[in-house]
Structure 1
């Protein structure tokens, strides 16, 4: 299910530990999606790694929506992918809508782009959904306002309808790049606590979003002394959960267990290098 994210974690897996026999599950026949929840700077790095990995390793065209201009790849990502070819970067198209209305309009235009593009996008990324859905105020208010609920429903419906449409086009053109995947990020103002991504408090907007996404990728920072002792700048726990999760290292004992989570660690070194480790 979370094949692109799992591919990222495997590709940039720590070389200091013995790599386990990880395989990325083959794409299912339906469109699928992941929501990355946590610190926006770390989640953006994960999204950019996903875009670069999809483009360079799978030859996928990527549509990357974000409100913040990206002038160049972050130094941390350049360290992870020092030999990225310009041809791979050309497969990633960045778009900068400022409002949810602009995002909806640009998303809808992807239906029309197939007439001018031989290969439509097979990965859609939306950076920081809270910037489109919450506006300038705090997202931690109680309840979801009718306008916000409408925006969540409208954006989610259009996002998944677009992905389903592009999947159909990819299949009609006998492309091996389908189905069209979706990865988005969201940073909640509510304390998400610890322990496998289970929140202490609920965020009504996040609660509404996760109903649409099949996989939740939760980022939680480890502030323990082990990170400092190991000479690391930051350590983040990554929890994969949700109804669409597929165990890439599944054993016979868990073959029939739906929604089983996976845990990884993201190690960020002082020089900006990022590595992932399976827990």
Structure 2
């Protein structure tokens, strides 16, 4: 299936840096990695725009590096750059890496239910050019937000999901997503994804959780928070795994509340935090700033 782009999305894509690429490197730390990366890029006439690195132990620990570089005629030059990186990084240092043209935005599908605050915030930020992504589609198990989504020029698909057997709905999800997306965002999608779906979708899935994990999991988190007299309300964006709400955390934030706040106040203020946390997580993932390592992440924000 081919999905068309709205005009504003095309304009943003054309305005993106045409000659910038991201290089993500990870593996066992050892002397000379940064120099090797710099040498390969210099040999191809590339200019390093930014470089972030982290090692959990300089004596053979885990090493992570994000480099953004500029290079004229980037698309034509990337195969040769990649060939040299294979030799210098993969063969000589035993490192893994990913190389991506940043002028080509990642394609995202957004899943939503009736709560629309995270969904509409992402669509608004995308329209304003704040998120360097292509929104391929919005999928919802309710039709309530269809007209609002379509007003942004984004394809909307209503896929009902009722009862305990979600196999038919997930089969339709996979049909819609296949070959059309690079990652999926659950913008308060109130359905649990099966392990089979997570395995078969083949792309990262980002979720926003309405609490500062791990706390107040399950239904009615703000009512539970009110009962406990909490002083902070938070939100957590994380990658989805088969273990519910246990995936690698990308971003978290909190807002201070008091005994005078009602449960509705907590929900309203929590929604503000959810929007901010999810938008940052989507932005950082889109810009290759998040590196997964086991069940945690390195975020070069």
Calculate the TM-score normalised by the size of structure 2: 0.29
Structure 1 length normalisation: TM-score?
0.30
Which has the greater radius of gyration?
A: 2
Greater relative contact order (Cα < 8 A, sep 6+)? 1
> Comparing both structures, which one devotes a greater share of its residues to strand?
2
